[in-house]
Structure 1
Amino acid sequence: MGGNQILKTRMAESGFTQAELAEAVNADLRAAGYEGTVSDRTVRNWLTGKTRWPHHRQRAALEVLFNCPATELGFTTQEDRTPTAPPGGVHSPVSDTARTILPTVAVPSLGPRQRVGLGDVQRLSAKFALVIADDHRYGGKLTIEVQAAALAGEALALQARGTASQRVRAALYGCAASFTSSAMWAAIDGRRFDTAQRHFDRAANLAALSGDSTIQFRIWSHAGSLYRHMARPVDALAANDVARRLPVARRDPLFASLGHARHAAIHGLTGDAGAVRQAVGHAQNALLQVDPDEQRPVWITAFYDQAELENLAVAAHLALGDYEGAEARAHRSLALLRPEMRRTRAITTARLARAQLGQGDLEPAVATAMSISADPTGQHPRVTGMLHDFGNALSLTARSSPHARTWDQYIHDGRRNPQ
C-alpha cells in the first residue's frame, strides 16, 4: 500500500478525521504560542506520503496527541529511509508498556521550558465552560467534540512543554480527562458510539493520572450512558456502579443523586419496575440533601437538577412501557427546565409525545411532536431518531387516521424542508 498507513491506522483508532486532526494540531500549536496553519491538505499530504517529515512544531504536536514519537506514526527522515541495522539491536519492552499506559511523552526541546501554574488551568477551564454551554444548547455536534478534544490537546501540551508543581500537573491531567469526557459525551449524543468508546479509553487513563474522583465519576457515568444508548444494560449498570462507588458520590449528594437517576434509566431497559422506583427514590432523597452553595465543577451544575432527574425518570418509565408515569414526569421536567437547555427540552418533548401516543391520545401526541422546532436543536440526532420512532409507532397504531396523515404531511413539508 502507498502512503502513511501507520498514521491512517492511528487516526482511525483515535477517532480523528483529517479535519479533526488538523484542528487538534492547530490547538496544540496555539497553546505553544505559534500560529495554527495546519489544514485538511496538510494532513492529506501526511497520509499520502507527500510530506514524510513534518515541520518540527507539527511533529511535537502530533507526538502529544498520539502519545508516541513521530517515527512511530510512520514519519521518516531522509536518514531513516536508508536501511540500517539498529545499534546493538536492543529494544526495551518496558518503554513500550509505559507508552501504552501513560498519555504523556517527551517531546523535542523547543527552548526554555515555561512555568505552568493554576492560572493556566483556570484559562483552560474558562474555555471549557464555553464548550459546556454549546453542548447544552445543541449537543451531539461534531464541532463540539473536536473543540473538546482540542482543549485536551492543549492541556497535554502544557504538561509536555512546561514545568509545574505536582498539584498543577494533577489539575492538568484532570482538565485533559474532563475535556476528553466532553468529547466522549458529544460523540454519544451524536450516536457516534465507536468514537465515544475511544474517547472513553483515553479519558479513563487521564482521569486515573489526575487522582480526581470527581472527573472519574463523570467518565464512568458517561460510560454507563454510552452502554445504555447502545442497549447494553448489563455493561451500563456495571459502569455506572463504578461511578457510584467513587468517594465523591459518597461525599456529595448531588453526585449521588445523578448516579441513582442514571441507574434508574438503565433499569428501565431491564424491565425492572421495582428497581426503577427505588433508584428514582434514592435520587430524589439525595437531591433534597444538596447544599446549593457548595463549590462544584461546571459540568455537573450546568445540567443536573430536579428537571434532569425528572427527565431521566421519563426515559426509565418509557422503557418500562409506563406511559402515564412517563407523561407526568415529562410535564414536570419541562416546567422546571432552564431556558438555555434547548437540546434537553427538545428531547423531553419528544419523549412526552411518545408517552401520549402510548396512551392512545393521538391528537395531543401529534401536536406535542409538531411543537419541536426544526432549528438546530430539533435536528439533533437523538431528537430526529425519537421523532422517526414516533412516526413509526403512530403508523402502527393508527395508519389511516387523520392524525397520522397530519404527521406525514408535517414531516414532508416541515422537517424535511426547515426554513
Structure 2
Amino acid sequence: MTSSPPPLRLARLSLGYRSQEDLAQALNETARSIGLRIAVTKKTIGRWESDSPPWPQADHAQALQALFNRPITELGFSSSRRSTSESTRPQAIRSRETWASRHAGAVPGTLPQSVASDFMSAAAAYRRMYWSVPADRLQQLVATHAALGWDLLEQVPGAGQKLMARAVAETSLLAGRLEFFDLQQPQLAVASFGLALRAAGRADDSLLGAATLAHMAFAPAFANDAEQNDTQSQRLESARESLRGARIFAERGQAGAEMIAWLDAVEAEVETRIGEVRRALELLDHAELVYAEYDPDDAPSPVWLDWFSRARLAGFKGNTQIAAGHGVAARQTLERALTELSVDAIKQRAVLYADLAAAEVLDRNPEKACEHLGQALELLGEHWYATAMDRVRAVRQTLREWDSLSAVRDLDDQLYNWHTMIRSLAT
C-alpha cells in the first residue's frame, strides 16, 4: 500500500505551484509583502515535504501561513518538533513571531464584538484608499489586515464572526486586485483570492463569492503557456469554470443588474484574450441591455462593487472592438467612456488612453496614437498601474513601421525615462 503524499505537497498543488521551486519563489514574494526577509530555496521545500519535516523558523512559518491561509500544523508540521527547533534559535529571531501566530487556535469568543465592526471599518477605508494611495504600499497593509482578520476569526463571538468574515473577504479581494492588476504579482493574487473565497464562505455571502470567482478567472486567461505550464485550452477551461461558478453564486445571491453586467464584461474580456471576439461582443451587447435596467435606488449594488460603471463597461467594449479590428467604432466607444469616467479614476483613464492609441494605429494615425500614449504615461507618472503600462508597451510595438517619425521618437523619450524604467522594473 502506498503512503499518502505529504500535506505540504498537496497544499502546494492545490494553489497551482507545480514545482518546489515555484513554491519557494511564492513564499519569498509573500514574505516581502508582509515585511519579512527570507530566502527559501527548493532544498528547503524538499525538507518540508519529507515524511518528518522540521519545524520552520518563525519567519518561514509566518510566510507559510500567509500564503496558504491556514496554520502550519495543517501543512504537515508537527508541534512536537517545535521545542527542539525553537530551542536552537536565538531569542532575537524567536521574538519576531506575530501576536496572531502565537495565539493561533486560542479560545473561541475571547475578543469583543467591536473587533468585527472595527475590521469592517478598516476594510471600507482601504477600499477608498485604493484610488489614491500607491499600490505597493497599500498592498502590504491590506494583505496583512486580511491575514490578521482570518487568524482572529474564531476568537470573535457569535454573530460578529459573519461580519468579521465579510471584512476579511472584502479585504483579501482588494489585496488580490492590487497584486494582479496594479503590481503584476499573480502568485500572490491567487493566494489572496483563495482567502477571499474561504472568508466569503464563512460569511455565507454569495455575492462576494461570485466576485471572487470572477476575479479568479483573470489569472489563467491572462497568463501564457510558459508561466503556467498549461495549454491554452486548459487555461481557457479553468477561466470558464471560475466564471460558471461566479454566475451560480450570483444567481444564488440574487445579484442585481450592475453585477450581472460586470460578469458579462469579465467573461467578454476572457473570450477576447483567447480570440473569441464574436462571442465577447455578444456578451457586451447583453451587458449593455442588462445595465440599461439598473436602478441603484431600487436595487443597489454591494458597496464594494466600486470598480464598475457604465463608463467602465464602455472601456471593456472598446478594447474588444479593437481586437475585432473595428478602429472607428472603438474610438467612438472609448471617447464616450473618457467623457463619462469619473475624474478620480486615474488608473482606468490611463488604460482608456492606451486603448485609444491602439484604435488610432488600426486607422494608421501614428501621430494621434503617440499623443494618446503620452497622455497615458502622464497619468502613470501620477498613479502607477501595471495593467495600463502593459497596454502602452503593446501599442508601442505596433508603431515600429513609424519609428522614424518625430512623434514616435518623442514618445520613446517619455517611455524610457528614468522614472518610468525604474518603476517598471520594480513591479
Q: Of 152, 156, 168, which residue of structure 2 is paired with 1:162?
A: 156
Matches within 5 A, 1:232-251: 232-246=235-249, 247=251, 250-251=254-255
The one-character-per-residue Cα deviations of 1:358-416 (angstroms, maximum 9, x if unpaired) are: 21011211111112215545542222222222222111x32323332232333345864
The reply on whether 1:76 has 2:70 as its aligned counterpart is no
The reply on whether 1:115 has 2:112 as its aligned counterpart is yes
Question: Distance between the aligned counterparts of 2:133 and 2:312, measured in 1?
Answer: 16
- AA aligned to 1:152 is A
Contiguous gaps of at least 5 residues in structure 2: 1-7, 10-19, 45-54, 89-100, 225-234, 423-427
Question: Distance between the aligned counterparts of 1:209 and 1:20, measured in 2?
Answer: 25
SS in 1 for 2:214: helix
8 Å CA contact retained: 2:214, 2:243: yes
The one-character-per-residue Cα deviations of 1:301-320 (angstroms, maximum 9, x if unpaired) are: x2211011111112222233
Question: Distance between the aligned counterparts of 1:378 and 1:79, measured in 2?
Answer: 45
- Give the TM-score of the pair, scaled to structure 2: 0.72
The reply on whether 1:173 has 2:176 as its aligned counterpart is no
The one-character-per-residue Cα deviations of 1:85-134 (angstroms, maximum 9, x if unpaired) are: xxxxxxxxxxxxxxxxxxx9983658981332xx5433222222232223
8 Å CA contact retained: 2:256, 2:300: no
Matches within 5 A, 1:28-177: 40=36, 66-69=70-73, 72=77, 76-78=82-84, 107=104, 109=106, 113-116=110-113, 119-137=114-132, 141-165=135-159, 168-177=160-169
Q: Of 382, 388, 391, which residue of structure 2 is paired with 1:386?
A: 391
8 Å CA contact retained: 1:250, 1:256: no
8 Å CA contact retained: 1:324, 1:359: yes
8 Å CA contact retained: 1:268, 1:317: no
8 Å CA contact retained: 1:261, 1:283: yes
Question: Distance between the aligned counterparts of 1:105 and 1:81, measured in 2?
Answer: 16
Q: Could you say which residue in structure 2 is the equivalent of 1:182?
A: 174
Question: Distance between the aligned counterparts of 1:326 and 1:161, measured in 2?
Answer: 52
- AA aligned to 2:34 is L
- Give the TM-score of the pair, scaled to structure 1: 0.73
8 Å CA contact retained: 1:203, 1:219: yes
Structure 2 CA distance for partners of 1:66 and 1:237, relative to 1, 3 Å = closer
Q: Could you say which residue in structure 2 is the equivalent of 1:262?
A: 266
Structure 2 CA distance for partners of 1:109 and 1:195, relative to 1, 3 Å = closer
Q: Of 207, 222, 240, which residue of structure 2 is paired with 1:229?
A: 222
How many angstroms does 1:202 deviate by?
2.8
Question: Distance between the aligned counterparts of 2:354 and 2:56, measured in 1?
Answer: 50
- AA aligned to 2:185 is R
- AA aligned to 1:245 is I
The one-character-per-residue Cα deviations of 1:51-88 (angstroms, maximum 9, x if unpaired) are: 98869xx99x9899542449938872259869xxxxxx
Question: Distance between the aligned counterparts of 1:251 and 1:170, measured in 2?
Answer: 20
Matches within 5 A, 1:7-26: 17-22=30-35
8 Å CA contact retained: 2:350, 2:379: no
- Identity %, equivalent residues: 14
- AA aligned to 1:212 is D
SS in 2 for 1:371: helix
Q: Could you say which residue in structure 2 is the equivalent of 1:27?
A: none
SS in 2 for 1:282: helix
Tell me how many residue pairs correspond in the alignment. 361
- AA aligned to 1:136 is W
Structure 2 CA distance for partners of 1:277 and 1:385, relative to 1, 3 Å = closer
Q: CA RMSD in A?
A: 4.0
Structure 2 CA distance for partners of 1:242 and 1:362, relative to 1, 3 Å = same
The reply on whether 1:325 has 2:329 as its aligned counterpart is yes
Question: Distance between the aligned counterparts of 2:413 and 2:56, measured in 1?
Answer: 55
How many angstroms does 1:279 deviate by?
0.8
- AA aligned to 2:241 is A
- AA aligned to 2:257 is P
Q: Of 288, 291, 300, which residue of structure 2 is paired with 1:287?
A: 291
Q: With CA pairs under 8 Å and 6+ residues apart, which has the higher RCO, 1 or 2?
A: 1
Contiguous gaps of at least 5 residues in structure 1: 23-39, 83-103
How many angstroms does 1:161 deviate by?
2.5
